[in-house]
Amino acid sequence: MDILHLVDRLEELINKSRSIPFTSNVILDEDRMLDIIDQMRVAIPEEVKKSQQVLSQKDRVIAQAKEEADRTVNIAKDKSDKLTDRDSIVQDAKKKALQIEAEAEMRAKTTQSEADEYVAETLTNLEIALERVLNQVRNGIYILEEETLQKEDPTEEKPEEK
């Protein structure tokens, strides 16, 4: 399940909870809240797995780009070796090989840069989502602790009943 969907459900639970008069506290359905938190515990590792997949995908793209660059360089070298019989042809072949090699390296660098940007963006989004979840969980725990303290402290004034 999507972690952001679970965060939205937790927020909805808090927003729909009954408020305690004259306080900023609310009464939460503990079972529903704990169920959502359990689902978050399951979903967070899934998000981490997704980020690991992105990282391995980046490595695969970089490896493919390097293979293509090596293949292009080898093709250029093979062509230049075959043309060594003629001086002018040899010089042209060397220039073309260098040009092909430079283009292949530039394509590999561009692909690697794009993969790095994609991974950085994905990991940043994951970090933001995890921070939001953590903050909401902390807020829920804080509210539950406040309610528990109020129940345990009988000296606090209770609203008058009519």
Residue with tokens 């003629």: 86
Mean pLDDT (the chain) is 84
pLDDT in tens, 49-107: 888 888 888 888 888 888 988 899 898 888 777 766 666 777 888 889 999 999 989 99
Whole-structure pTM value: 0.38
CB burial string 59-75: b at 16+ within 10 A, e below: eebeeebeeebeebbee
Enumerate the domain spans of the chain.
Answer: 3-138
